[in-house]
Amino acid sequence: MEKRALRPIARLSAEAQATVSLREHILSGALKPGARLTETPLAEQLGIARATLRMGLHRLASEGILVQIPYTGWQVVALSSRDVWELWTLRSSLESLAARLAAERMTDSGSARVTKVMEDLSAACHRGRVNDINKADFAFHQAIVDLADHGRLSEHYRQVEQQVRLYIASTNVYNEPDDWSVVIQHHQPLAAALIARDPERAEAEARLHNEVFGKKLLSAMRDEPQ
């Protein structure tokens, strides 16, 4: 796996930038679940004070990405099969509601956005680069949540999705070439229901999509070496 370096922070007072840099680093898969983080070397890498770093670490802990280990430091969250089940069932409920609302409120510009994210996902799958597929996949689902225009749903979805991203980045769930065309096939019915402005079908397709996705995550977890 290619080694990734943390991106330095340009301005020492920017707690938000520190949080973003750490979040991107973790969700990229550069750190595996269970990996330990120590404040002093992290602060040095980012070029910020430990107090500023600590605020960012606490923010990521509140998002469910990190946990604080007393007298030791911080640790990237390690997900159990139970955690994965809870994540995908919760994601299914949130995204099903989002899909229904998005279809009910769909506009021409919204349809154009769904078409664009679906095209981007298809192109990424044809290129076969895992990172591009992951990014395009998350952009597709984020578009649905955005088009639902529901602030509280969006807030809860973001936390769930970040933990899903953390898990995907640490597994081989998208590493099999045969899966790339399947990714397109699994998203097309949902995209079509949204563009057709069919709330009931969009809700059902979102639920089915998440059921398939959740089973795939659980299967990938069982296949991972312990």
106 within 8 A of 221, measured Cβ to Cβ: no
Question: Six-digit token pair at 219?
Answer: 């299967």
Any idea where the domains of the chain sit in the sequence?
15-76, 81-223
User: CA–CA distance from 121 to each of 62, 116, 125, 183 (Å)?
Assistant: 30, 9, 6, 8
- Report percent pLDDT > 70 for the chain: 87
78 within 8 A of 34, measured Cβ to Cβ: yes
Greater model confidence, 9 or 118: 118
Mean pLDDT for 184-193 is: 96
CA dihedral for 38, 20, 143, 118, sign (positive or negative):
negative
Mean pLDDT for 8-32 is: 75
Q: What is the pTM of this model?
A: 0.80
Mean pLDDT for 109-127 is: 97
Does CATH number 3.60.9.10 belong to domain 15-76? no
In tens, the pLDDT along 71-103 reads 888 999 888 888 888 988 999 999 999 999 999
Residue 202: what pLDDT?
99
Name the pLDDT band for 33 (thresholds 50, 70, 90). confident
Residue 5: what pLDDT?
65
| 129 has pLDDT over 50 | yes
Q: Which CATH class for the 81-223 domain? A: mainly alpha
| 175 has pLDDT over 60 | no
| 226 has pLDDT over 50 | no
Mean pLDDT of the chain, nearest integer? 87
Lowest mean pLDDT among 22-26, 62-66, 134-138, 219-223: 219-223
CB atoms within 10 A of CB 133: 23
3-state secondary structure the chain: CCCCCCCCCCCCCCHHHHHHHHHHHHHCCCCCCCCEECHHHHHHHHCCCHHHHHHHHHHHHHCCCEEEECCCEEEECCCCHHHHHHHHHHHHHHHHHHHHHHHHCCCHHHHHHHHHHHHHHHHHHHHCCHHHHHHHHHHHHHHHHHHHCCHHHHHHHHHHHHHHHHHHHCCCCCCCCCHHHHHHHHHHHHHHHHHCCCHHHHHHHHHHHHHHHHHHHHHHHHHCCC
